[in-house]
Amino acid sequence: MLNAVQWHHHQVSRDDRAAQKSQKPCVLWFTGLSGAGKSTLANLVEQNLFAHGYHSFLLDGDNVRHGLNKDLGFSDADRVENIRRIGEVAKLMTDSGLIVLSAFISPFERDRALVRDLFADHEFLEVYVDAPLDVCERRDPKGLYKRARAGQIRDFTGIDSEYQPPSHPDIHIRTDNLSSTQCAERVVQYLKLRGYLKDR
Ligand SMILES: Nc1ncnc2c1ncn2[C@@H]1O[C@H](COP(=O)(O)OP(=O)(O)OP(=O)(O)O)[C@@H](O)[C@H]1O
Ligand SMILES: [Mg+2]
């Protein structure tokens, strides 16, 4: 049977859209333990980009689970599907010319590699938001570690579920010895130096 689903080619290309925005679209894929600072950093980077007139969009954990992925739980299969869908959405958004920031623990190297495969070279930037477990646990901004230690949350990353650190992150940020503002500046600096942000 012939496949009735066909790809449509658009007259306005992704390069046209990117040039209009004076930026090179990419996804900044923040990964790290809960409490490592993914949301904090992604928000600060986005504020910085916005203030300088660049176009971005932030995809963050809980928000996506309220809508797009509200049918998914935390089983292994659902976690994989959660990340896969987010990757596809990030792909559509970069095609629209945006700099996409995503802030999910995304603990498994294999799942992150699957997302990376959706993108062209240099379009997917893995940002390892790195802080030791004991620091994250002391911060515990949502009280999740406490609940995990009390046995109220199962399969919690770092406690009874593995976190696989990126072996070759594009950007490696240690958040335990720099302020969040300094960490965010490093990410923005990387984007500038690598030509993702054009002069406006
Ligand atoms: N250099 C830093 N960068 C980022 N966050 C920092 C830094 N120093 C201290 N913090 C603090 O660490 C906490 C990080 O919490 P945040 O919600 O950003 O983590 P997260 O990685 O998004 O966690 P989760 O996966 O649970 O959403 C915040 O309370 C923040 O103020
Ligand atoms: Mg977060």
Q: State the DSSP code for 114.
A: H
* 180 ligand 1 Cβ < 6 A: yes
Residue 161 annotated to the active site = no
* C-alpha–C-alpha distance, residues 131 and 176, integer Å: 6
Q: Contact 56/64 with Cβ under 8 angstroms?
A: no
Domain positions in the chain:
14-193
Do the beta carbons of residue 38 and residue 139 sit within 8 Å?
A: no
Q: Can you name the CATH fold of 14-193?
A: Rossmann fold (3.40.50)
Pairing state of beta strands 124-130 and 99-103? unpaired
The one-character DSSP state at 70 is T
Determine whether the shortest distance from the Cβ of 106 to ligand 1 is under 6 A: no
- Contact criterion met (CB below 8 Å) for 56 and 49: yes
Measure 10 CA to ligand 2 centroid, in angstroms. Answer: 35
**What are the pLDDT tens digits along the chain (200 aa)?**
567 888 888 889 888 998 999 999 999 999 999 999 999 999 999 999 999 999 999 999 778 888 999 999 888 889 889 999 999 999 999 999 999 999 999 999 999 999 999 999 999 999 999 999 999 999 999 999 999 999 999 989 999 999 999 999 999 999 999 999 999 999 999 999 999 999 88
